[in-house]
Chain A
Amino acid sequence: MSNSTVTATGTATESGIPHIDSIVRTLKLGFSRIGYELKLYFRQGDSVFFSFLFPILMLAVFAVAFSSAGNIGTRPDGTGGITFAAYYLPGMVAAGMLLSGVQNLGVDIAGEKGNGTLKRLAGSPLPVISYFIGKIGMVLVSAVFQAILLLLVARIAFNVELPTDPNKWWLFAWVFLLGVITSCVLGIALSALPRSGKSATAVVIPIVLLLQFISGVYLQFSMLPDWLQNFASIFPLKWMAQGMRAVFLPDSFKAVEQTGTWDLGWVAIVMLIWFVVGLLLCKLTFRWIRKDT
Chain B
Amino acid sequence: MNETDPVVSVRDLRKTYGKVVGLDGVSLEIHRGETFAMLGPNGAGKSTTIEILEGYRDRTGGEAKVLGVDPQTGGIDWKARLGIVLQNTGESGDVTVTEQLTHFAGYYENPRNVQEVIEAVGLTEKAKARIAKLSGGQRRRVDVALGIIGRPRLLFLDEPTTGFDPEARRQFWGLIESLKAEGTTILLTTHYLDEAAHLADRAAVINHGKIVALGKIDEIGGKDARVPLVKWRASGEAKQQRTQKPAELVAKLQKEFGGEPEGLEVIRPSLEDIYLELVGVNSHSVANEDASNLVEVSI
Contact = CB atoms under 8 A, between A and B. Distances in A.
Contacts of A4: 75-76
B73 A9 contact: yes
A29 B106 contact: yes
A127 B75 CA distance: 9
A123 B156 CA distance: 11
Contacts of B107: 29, 124-126
Interface stretch (B23-31, B50-58, B172-180): B50-58
- Interface SS of chain B: helix, strand, loop or mixed? loop
B39 to A, nearest CB: 23
A21 interface: yes
Contact of A5 (B76, B103, B109): B76
Interface in A64-117: 111-112, 115-117
A93 to B, nearest CB: 28
Interface in A118-152: 119-120, 122-127
> Max chain A CB contacts within 10 Å: which of B90, B99, B107?
B107
B77 A125 contact: yes
A124 B86 CA distance: 12
Contact of B77 (A9, A29, A123): A9
B56 A8 contact: no
B56 A40 contact: no
Given A15-B68, A32-B106, A291-B58, A120 B91 contact: yes
A124 B103 CA distance: 12
Interface in B52-98: 54-58, 67-70, 73-82, 84, 86, 88-92, 94-95
A164 B100 CA distance: 44
Nearest to A36: B103
B104 A124 contact: yes
Contacts of A7: 75
B56 A291 contact: yes
Contacts of B68: 11, 14-17
A39 B55 CA distance: 30
Contacts of B104: 124
Contacts of A15: 1, 67-69, 78
B186 interface: no
Contacts of B164: none
A124 B147 CA distance: 9
B109 A122 contact: no
Given A119-B56, A120-B146, A125 B94 contact: no
Contacts of B91: 112, 115-117, 120
A291 B80 CA distance: 20
Interface string A20-63: 11000000010010001001100110000000000000000000
B89 A125 contact: no
> Max chain A CB contacts within 10 Å: which of B56, B77, B81?
B77
Contact of B92 (A21, A40, A120, A125): A40
Contacts of A123: 54-56, 79, 82, 84, 86
A8 B76 contact: yes
A195 interface: no
B232 interface: no
B55 A12 contact: no
Contacts of B94: 39-40, 43-44
B86 A125 contact: no
B78 A17 contact: yes
A270 to B, nearest CB: 35
B90 A12 contact: no
A53 B101 CA distance: 31
A159 interface: no
A285 interface: no
A252 to B, nearest CB: 48
Contacts of B58: 291-292
Given A32-B106, A124-B104, A292-B58, A2 B75 contact: yes
A17 B95 contact: no
B69 A120 contact: no
Nearest to B110: A18
A115 B92 contact: yes
B48 to A, nearest CB: 10
A18 B109 contact: yes
A21 B77 contact: yes
A261 interface: no
Contacts of A116: 86, 88-91
A120 B70 CA distance: 20
A17 to B, nearest CB: 5
Contacts of A124: 79, 84, 104, 107, 150
Q: Which 10 A-B pairs have the closest CB atoms?
A: A15-B68, A125-B80, A123-B84, A21-B76, A43-B94, A125-B79, A12-B77, A9-B75, A116-B89, A15-B1
12 contacts: A11-B68, A11-B69, A13-B77, A15-B1, A18-B81, A39-B94, A43-B94, A123-B56, A123-B79, A124-B84, A125-B77, A292-B57
Given A12-B69, A36-B99, A44-B94, 15 more contacts: A1-B55, A1-B74, A7-B75, A9-B73, A12-B77, A13-B77, A14-B68, A15-B67, A16-B1, A17-B77, A17-B81, A39-B99, A40-B95, A116-B86, A123-B56
